[in-house]
């Protein structure tokens, strides 16, 4: 027994020793591990624990202003308050949606620009289970996961979209803006918040995480609606152009010029953004106070347009259109009545006025449409005859003394063509003065190789006649881009070519292709200045922003006149057309002499009538010209589409020329005088 007891006692210390040894070993490993963590990896883990990130956000700076040619502010920045949302990394879609719901109860948000796709996405967001239930078993089984959402979009019907309430659409509009924003970067939800909206938001700020009210700027227009469309719009980047702008260095939530001058000169008008630098922890929350780097306002544009003249031109158009509407059913029962005017310096290409008006019979109101001068094109009638004569002279089918009998033309198929009156033997000047169609038709027939006297083609070149006429017209700017400094312009409608002689003949009198009023103005300017096609432009100068509202900033750039091409016609041939244009407004047979021959500003020009509809008798009435004849300083184009016969085109032209020259007589400073006066001030 004693021996067994001793054996048991011997086993216990061995087990205890083994246990102590194991504990000691594990403890040693733990100590070594802690030592490794603290000594070897301590600094690395410490840096990880206190990991921070530098985040820079940006705020838009005010855009540059715009001035007219006499340095009057035409586009300014008005201080307003904007409602913004600053997104954090923790704010998921559901959280943003809940904030949008609360915010929609406090503010009014425009929903007109919501796209159909946005509404479909939102319907799915609200009714995902219901939309998924519309999928067939085959669609669920066979559609790849990445394509399933597109199939769900197809299941959303127009009825579904229409079921969204106005309140839901407001929530969608707000959420869409919130979704566009970058993390920690204030995103505008609404520009120009009302006092009531700001008061309500201030009361509920604790419930509106990320929502704030910030000072901002909104475009203002001292001359109200006048020329406003051409100034353009400033909006957030459209989704359709997001890739374009981000590739140019813009942020997704930027305000940018989206049309006309604001878009054309976006790089100039854009200010230098205010930068706000945050330090964030590893979760993305800001640590400490942000550091702000001030931005600066964009550069200013000085335009070529004289806003006082612009308003006078607009008034003339409204008055003369009103007279036409009230008198003798000039427009029959057409709902809309329109007229366009372009005035430019033929020597420099400076556009001094560009006006358009549309009268709506249903509302009884006029709509400002200056953009119609570059976007809308019409058959311009006899105004193109100057180009036709110069083409005939250049091609040698007529010379300066060629006489052609203006009498009715007869053809083998029994067709008869004539001018508005039988003028007898006429040369090129007479043909322009009295607007002879027959003279122009003979030019076209000769270009086509048609011998009218013998009623046969010597050389069938009808398509070649089209090419010659169209190429020649393009030298004046007809049918090609004028080069005006706006994002886009129409070039008119090229009706193509034909083997039909009569179509070539009608091309020669402006009854085939269509042109814009701006193209007409460039064309007549080319004739007025002796053959130089000048680029029409609206930019005159670029100036540094000035802190003093009563003083312009330093001149950075001045637009120099740009000759796009010189027409191939000889100076003596151009003088023939100039003389013809003079006789139009002064000669005994001049089609516009009755209204212009006694004007002391001594104009020259060409009238035009293009048939639109034989049944209704509607025509396009046009007039181009320049003044004074000896030393042209202003060229113009007037287009009155879809009107009955009358003199509205002439009356509008008279009104705008009278306005221009009366302003000059009254001592209102010209652009050059204003510029000199301003430069003297700057030099003091």
**Hey, what are 65's tokens?**
């202003």
Q: How confident is the model at residue 672 (pLDDT cuts 50, 70, 90)?
A: very low
Question: Higher pLDDT residue, 319 or 283?
Answer: 319
Our count of domains for the chain comes to 3
Q: Are 566 and 447 part of one and the same domain?
A: yes
Q: Are 268 and 409 part of one and the same domain?
A: no
- Residue that terminates a domain, selected from 247, 278, 303: 303
Question: What is residue 616's predicted lDDT score, i.e. its pLDDT?
Answer: 82
Residue-wise pLDDT for 190-213, tens only, equals 999 999 999 999 999 999 999 999
Residue 232 lies in a domain: yes
CB atoms within 10 A of CB 6: 9
**Hey, what are 261's tokens?**
């001058």
Which has the minimum average pLDDT: 9-23, 35-49, 191-205, 450-464?
35-49
Residue 175 lies in a domain: yes
End-to-end Cα, the chain, rounded Å: 127
Q: How confident is the model at residue 576 (pLDDT cuts 50, 70, 90)?
A: very high
Residue-wise pLDDT for 373-402, tens only, equals 999 999 999 999 999 999 999 999 999 999
Residue-wise pLDDT for 119-152, tens only, equals 999 999 999 999 999 999 999 889 998 999 999 9
Which has the minimum average pLDDT: 44-58, 444-458, 580-594?
44-58
Residue 435 backbone zone (phi > 0: left; psi -120 to 50: alpha; other: beta): left
Q: Where are the alpha helices (DSSP H) in 421-556?
A: 428-434, 437-447, 462-476, 501-507, 517-528
Output the domain CATH number for residue 275.
3.90.1310.10
> In this prediction, what percent of the chain has a pLDDT beyond 70?
87
* Cα(634)–Cα(516) distance, integer angstroms: 18
Q: Are 64 and 167 part of one and the same domain?
A: no
Of the candidates 260, 637, 309, which has an alpha carbon nearest to the alpha carbon of residue 484? 260
Q: Are 239 and 133 part of one and the same domain?
A: no
Output the domain CATH number for residue 104.
1.10.10.1230
Q: Are 334 and 363 part of one and the same domain?
A: yes
Torsion from C-alpha of 62, 63, 68, 70, nearest 10 degrees: 50
Question: Higher pLDDT residue, 58 or 658?
Answer: 658
The catalytic residue positions are 382
Residue-wise pLDDT for 4-18, tens only, equals 555 555 555 776 776
Q: Are 272 and 287 part of one and the same domain?
A: yes
Domain span holding position 112: 88-180
Question: What is residue 42's predicted lDDT score, i.e. its pLDDT?
Answer: 63
Would the pLDDT of 489 be above 90? yes
Q: Are 396 and 465 part of one and the same domain?
A: yes
* Cα(132)–Cα(114) distance, integer angstroms: 24
Residue-wise pLDDT for 393-430, tens only, equals 999 999 999 999 999 999 877 789 999 999 999 999 99
Of the candidates 517, 511, 515, 519, which has an alpha carbon nearest to the alpha carbon of residue 612? 511
* Average pLDDT, integer, range 522-527: 98
Would the pLDDT of 617 be above 90? no
**Hey, what are 340's tokens?**
């366009």
- Residue that terminates a domain, selected from 249, 273, 303: 303
Of the candidates 567, 572, 565, 574, which has an alpha carbon nearest to the alpha carbon of residue 604? 574
Residue 681 lies in a domain: no
Question: Higher pLDDT residue, 64 or 185?
Answer: 64
pTM: 0.82
**Hey, what are 110's tokens?**
């425009």
* Highest mean pLDDT (candidates 197-201, 252-256, 535-539): 535-539
Question: What is residue 22's predicted lDDT score, i.e. its pLDDT?
Answer: 72
Question: What is residue 412's predicted lDDT score, i.e. its pLDDT?
Answer: 77
Q: How confident is the model at residue 670 (pLDDT cuts 50, 70, 90)?
A: very low
Question: What is residue 614's predicted lDDT score, i.e. its pLDDT?
Answer: 83
- Residue that terminates a domain, selected from 262, 281, 303: 303
Question: What is residue 11's predicted lDDT score, i.e. its pLDDT?
Answer: 57
Residue 377 lies in a domain: yes
Residue-wise pLDDT for 79-93, tens only, equals 999 999 988 878 888
Q: Are 100 and 60 part of one and the same domain?
A: no
Would the pLDDT of 506 be above 80? yes
* Average pLDDT, integer, range 326-333: 62
Would the pLDDT of 502 be above 80? yes
Question: What is residue 681's predicted lDDT score, i.e. its pLDDT?
Answer: 47
Work out whether strand 351-360 and strand 336-344 pair parallel, antiparallel, or are unpaired. antiparallel
Angle between helices 648-665 and 307-326 (to 10 degrees): 150
* Average pLDDT, integer, range 500-517: 96
DSSP element (H, E) containing 540: strand 539-543
Residue 366 lies in a domain: yes
Question: What is residue 272's predicted lDDT score, i.e. its pLDDT?
Answer: 84
* Average pLDDT, integer, range 440-446: 98
Residue 251 lies in a domain: yes
Residue-wise pLDDT for 358-368, tens only, equals 998 888 899 99
Task: Report how far Cα 99 is from the mean position of its chain's Cα atoms.
Answer: 35
Question: What is residue 435's predicted lDDT score, i.e. its pLDDT?
Answer: 97
Residue 169 lies in a domain: yes
Residue 184 backbone zone (phi > 0: left; psi -120 to 50: alpha; other: beta): left
Q: Are 233 and 377 part of one and the same domain?
A: no
Residue 131 lies in a domain: yes
Q: Are 319 and 286 part of one and the same domain?
A: no
Would the pLDDT of 588 be above 80? yes
Residue-wise pLDDT for 216-248, tens only, equals 889 999 999 999 999 999 988 887 888 888 888
Would the pLDDT of 294 be above 80? no
- Does residue 169 contact residue 161 with C-beta atoms inside 8 Å? no
Residue-wise pLDDT for 92-124, tens only, equals 889 999 999 999 999 999 999 899 999 999 999
Q: Are 415 and 542 part of one and the same domain?
A: yes
Residues in contact with 117: Cβ distance below 8 Å, sequence separation at least 6, in sequence order: 153
* Average pLDDT, integer, range 337-349: 97
Q: Are 465 and 609 part of one and the same domain?
A: yes
Residue-wise pLDDT for 161-183, tens only, equals 999 999 999 999 999 999 887 77
* Cα(418)–Cα(423) distance, integer angstroms: 10
Output the domain CATH number for residue 638.
3.40.710.10
Question: What is residue 284's predicted lDDT score, i.e. its pLDDT?
Answer: 56
């Amino acid at each position: 027994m004693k021996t067994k007891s001793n054996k048991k006692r011997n086993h216990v210390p061995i087990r205890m020793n083994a246990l102590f040894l194991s504990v000691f070993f594990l403890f040693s490993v733990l100590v070594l591990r802690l030592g490794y963590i603290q000594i070897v990896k301590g600094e690395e883990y410490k840096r990880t624990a206190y990991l921070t990130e530098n985040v820079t956000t940006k705020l838009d700076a005010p855009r540059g202003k715009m001035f007219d040619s006499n340095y009057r502010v035409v586009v300014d920045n008005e201080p307003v308050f904007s409602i913004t949302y600053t997104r954090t990394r923790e704010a998921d879609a559901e959280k943003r949606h809940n904030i949008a719901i609360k915010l929609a109860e406090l503010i009014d948000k425009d929903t007109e620009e919501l796209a159909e796709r946005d509404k479909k996405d939102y319907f799915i967001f609200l009714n995902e289970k219901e939309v998924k239930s519309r999928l067939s078993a085959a669609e669920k089984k066979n559609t790849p996961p990445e394509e399933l959402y597109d199939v769900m979009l197809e299941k959303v019907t127009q009825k579904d979209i229409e079921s969204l309430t106005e309140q839901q659409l407001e929530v969608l509009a707000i959420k869409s803006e919130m979704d566009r924003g970058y993390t920690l970067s204030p995103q505008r939800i609404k520009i120009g918040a009302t006092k009531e909206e700001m008061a309500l938001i201030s009361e509920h700020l604790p419930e509106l995480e990320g929502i704030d009210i910030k000072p901002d700027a909104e475009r203002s227009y001292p001359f109200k609606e006048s020329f406003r469309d051409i100034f353009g719009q400033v909006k957030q980047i459209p989704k359709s152009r997001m890739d374009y702008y981000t590739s140019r260095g813009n942020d997704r939530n930027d305000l940018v010029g989206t049309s006309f001058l604001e878009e054309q000169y976006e790089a100039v008008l854009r200010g230098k953004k205010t930068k706000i630098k945050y330090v964030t922890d590893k979760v993305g929350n800001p640590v400490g106070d942000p550091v702000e780097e001030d931005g600066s306002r964009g550069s200013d544009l000085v335009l070529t347009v004289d806003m006082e003249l612009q308003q006078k031109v607009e008034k003339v158009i409204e008055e003369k259109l009103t007279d036409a509407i009230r008198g003798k059913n000039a427009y029959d029962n057409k709902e809309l009545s329109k007229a366009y005017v372009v005035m430019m310096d033929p020597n420099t290409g400076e556009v001094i006025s560009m006006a358009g008006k549309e009268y709506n019979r249903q509302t009884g109101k006029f709509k400002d449409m200056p953009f119609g001068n570059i976007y809308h094109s019409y058959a311009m009638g006899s105004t193109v005859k100057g180009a036709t004569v110069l083409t005939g002279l250049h091609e040698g089918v007529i010379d300066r003394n060629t006489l052609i009998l203006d009498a009715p033309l007869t053809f083998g198929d029994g067709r008869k063509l004539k001018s508005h009156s039988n003028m007898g033997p006429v040369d090129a000047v007479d043909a322009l003065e009295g607007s002879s169609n027959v003279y122009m038709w003979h030019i076209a027939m000769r270009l086509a190789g048609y011998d009218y006297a013998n009623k046969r083609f010597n050389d069938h070149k009808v398509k070649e006649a089209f090419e010659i006429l169209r190429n020649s017209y393009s030298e004046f700017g007809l049918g090609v881009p004028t080069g005006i400094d706006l994002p886009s312009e129409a070039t008119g409608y090229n009706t193509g070519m034909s083997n039909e002689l009569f179509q070539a003949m009608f091309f020669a009198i402006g009854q085939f292709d269509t042109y814009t009023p701006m193209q007409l103005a460039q064309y007549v300017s080319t004739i007025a200045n002796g053959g130089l096609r000048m680029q029409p432009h609206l930019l005159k100068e670029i100036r540094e922003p000035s802190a003093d509202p009563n003083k312009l900033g330093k001149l950075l750039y001045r637009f120099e006149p740009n000759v796009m091409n010189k027409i191939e016609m000889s100076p003596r041939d151009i003088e023939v057309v100039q003389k013809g244009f003079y006789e139009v407004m002064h000669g005994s047979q001049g089609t516009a002499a009755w209204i212009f021959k006694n004007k002391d500003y001594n104009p020259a020009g060409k009238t035009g009538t293009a048939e639109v509809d034989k049944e209704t008798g509607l025509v396009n009435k046009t007039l181009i010209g320049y003044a004074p004849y000896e030393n042209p300083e202003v060229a113009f184009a007037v287009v009155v589409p879809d009107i009955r016969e009358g003199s509205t085109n002439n009356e509008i032209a008279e009104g705008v020329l009278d306005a221009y020259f009366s302003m000059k007589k009254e001592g209102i400073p010209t652009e050059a005088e204003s510029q000199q006066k301003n430069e003297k001030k700057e030099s003091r």
